[in-house]
Amino acid sequence: MDWGRIAQERLAEIATCSLPGAGVTRFPFTPEHRDALNLIRVWMDRAGLVTSLDAAGTLVGHAPGEGPSVLLGSHQDSVRDAGRYDGIMGIALACLALEKLRVEGIALGYPVEVLAFADEEGVRFPTALLGPRALAGTIDSNVFDMVDSDGVRLRDALDAFGGKSDDVTALGRNPADVRCYLEVHIEQGPVLETRDSPVGVVTGICGIERNTVTFRGETGHAGTVPMQGRSDALVAAADFIRAAHDAARKVQDLRATVVTCRISPGVANGIPDLTELTLEIRAPNDSIREDFAAKMKAEAKICADRRGTSFAIERTYLQPAVPCAQNLCDVLSKSIAATGHAGVVTLPSGATHDASAMADLCDIGMLFVRCRHGLSHRPEEFASAENMGVAIDVLANTLMVLGQ
């Protein structure tokens, strides 16, 4: 059977479970979400799984066996006007890997679950990773009082969908009952395409921190204050942005991005006396990220002194790096070789995934699938049937090895 072709057909069909628009728009606990789960139930049934919806709105497909469970999964939701692969592909390929083994008459012997998480993107409600955090026992019960843009509480949306918000905190699994969690995802970057590899083994999920950097100068009339002696907060910020960009290019696997910028007074004839920006730093190693943040603090002082402004830095968000388990990386790498693909590519994930929350419960492993031009979170997002077929073979082989 051409499993990659089947994956492409299924993803095309489930892409129609969407609000109107150029791409896929599917938010959690909506009619589009319900339509998607109806299709995923069919996928799970063909894989020989018994389905149920847990209290957090995660659709679970379960196959019994002896010993701790191997969990597979990803998320079904999307950003607005997204592509048809991010998240949902991991669910489709997990089901197909198990269906492939079933067709071939291969019994794993241990329990397996496929998890279709409701909300990873955090677009509808100002929270994310609800399902995996519930399983890991790290869910914050305060999130259920968060509201969407229409004023609907998360609690009410979840309960109306068939979940049970009051029972979510009881979903936490016993780590002794779980062997590992595996997730397949499009790369969302160009590395695999550059290396001409259909799949790659993820070494870890980058840690993230965000810092608010504020430069304060002195405003004045843009047409009357001489250039010499100005205290222009925007010029100091511009120096800093370029310095951060240039410094980040010299550190392997580190990403530094200014993601927001606010200027005051923001008028046509006024010199900026305040520029506030957000510097996001990502790295697969926390010490590298922390060292870079310290260097940027020193660089901010240099830029401020040069332009006659003051500065301040405040870290507003922190998510530590999450390494993938080395034994799972090894099994995935050997499975890639076993399917006839030499020269295994390993790479970190700069984006957060459901796996980052599942790491609080068990060992995690991730397999990336090549995507065209590295595009993601947009309608042009694309993974070929051929590459998805390779991923299905690798995942199926990995599941067999884990049973030996």
pLDDT of residue 312: 97
Helix (H) / strand (E) element for 337: namely helix 326-338
C-alpha distances in Å from residue 116, one per residue of 24, 181, 211:
17, 13, 33
Query: Mean pLDDT over residues 239-258, rounded?
Result: 97
Domain count, the chain: 2
Q: Examine the domain organization and report whether 261 and 345 are in the same domain.
A: no
Same domain, 214 and 108: no
Q: Do 60 and 183 belong together in one domain?
A: yes
- Give the domain-ending residue among 319, 336, 363: 319
Whether residue 328 sits in one domain with residue 307: no
Residues 397 and 304 in one domain: no
Mean pLDDT of the chain: 97
CB 359 within 8 A of CB 168: no
Residue 385 has pLDDT above 90, yes or no: yes
pLDDT 10s digits, 75-88: 999 999 999 999 99
Q: Which of 302, 319, 336 is the last residue of a domain?
A: 319
What local confidence, expressed as pLDDT, does residue 311 receive?
97
Task: Over range 114-133, report the average pLDDT.
Answer: 96
pLDDT band at 15 (very low <50, low <70, confident <90, very high): very high
CATH number, domain containing residue 190: 3.40.630.10
Q: Which two tokens stand for residue 343?
A: 């020269």
Domain finish residue from 282, 303, 319 = 319
Residue indicated by tokens 């980058």: 206
8 Å CB contact between 373 and 191: no
- Give me the mean pLDDT over the 95-109 stretch: 97
Q: In the structure, what pLDDT confidence band is assigned to residue 108 with cuts at 50, 70 and 90?
A: very high
Q: With bands split at pLDDT 50, 70 and 90, how would you rate the model's confidence at 113?
A: very high
* pLDDT value of residue 200: 98
In this predicted model, what pLDDT tens digit does every residue of 344-373 receive, in sequence order?
Answer: 999 999 999 999 999 999 999 999 999 999
The answer on 325 and 315 residing in a single domain is: no
Q: What are the two backbone dihedrals, phi and then psi, of residue 190, each rounded to the nearest 5 degrees?
A: -100, 5
- At residue 124 the predicted structure's pLDDT band, cuts being 50, 70 and 90, is very high
Q: Give yes or no for residue 397 having a pLDDT over 90.
A: yes
Distance of alpha carbon 214 from its chain centroid, rounded? 29
Shortest CA distance to 42 belongs to which of 67, 19, 59?
Answer: 59
Residues 184 and 266 in one domain: no
Residue 341 is predicted with a pLDDT of 84
Q: Are 85 and 200 in the same domain?
A: yes
Task: Examine the domain organization and report whether 165 and 24 are in the same domain.
Answer: yes
pTM (2 d.p.): 0.91
pLDDT value at 31 more than 90: yes
- Please tell me the predicted confidence (pLDDT) of residue 184: 98
- Please provide the size of the chain in residues: 404
Question: Could you tell me the residue range of the domain that residue 269 belongs to?
Answer: 207-319
Is pLDDT of 138 > 90?
yes
pLDDT, tens only, 256-276: 999 999 999 999 999 999 999
Strand order of the β-sheet with 207-216 is 255-264, 274-283, 207-216, 310-319
CA dist., res. 325 & res. 203, Å (int):
8
CA distance 249 to 237: 19
Identify whether the C-beta of residue 91 lies closer than 8 Å to the C-beta of residue 40: yes
Q: Cis omega before residue 126 (within 30°)? A: no
Residues contacting residue 249 through CB under 8 Å, at least 6 positions apart: none
Q: For 326-353, what is the mean pLDDT?
A: 94
- Residue 333 pLDDT greater than 90, yes or no: yes
pLDDT mean over 78-99: 98
Residues 6+ apart with CB under 8 A from 57: 28, 29, 118, 119, 130, 131, 158, 161, 162, 163
Q: Is residue 17 very low, low, confident or very high in pLDDT (cuts 50, 70, 90)? A: very high
Residues 158 and 45 reside in one and the same domain:
yes
Task: Indicate whether 284 and 269 sit together in one domain.
Answer: yes
Residue 31: how many other CB atoms lie within 10 Å:
12
* % of the chain with per-residue pLDDT over 70: 100
* Whether residue 275 is found in the same domain as residue 256: yes
Contact of 216 with 309, CB cutoff 8 Å: yes
Q: Is 258 helix (H, G, I), strand (E, B) or coil?
A: strand
Q: So what's the pLDDT on residue 45?
A: 98
Q: Which of 119, 120, 191 lies closest to 353, judged by CA? A: 120
Confidence band for 404, pLDDT divided at 50, 70 and 90:
confident
Largest CA distance in the chain: 82
Give 343's pLDDT tier (boundaries 50, 70, 90). confident
Residue 342 banded pLDDT, cuts 50, 70, 90: confident
Instruction: Report the C-alpha gap between 72 and 116 in whole angstroms.
Output: 9
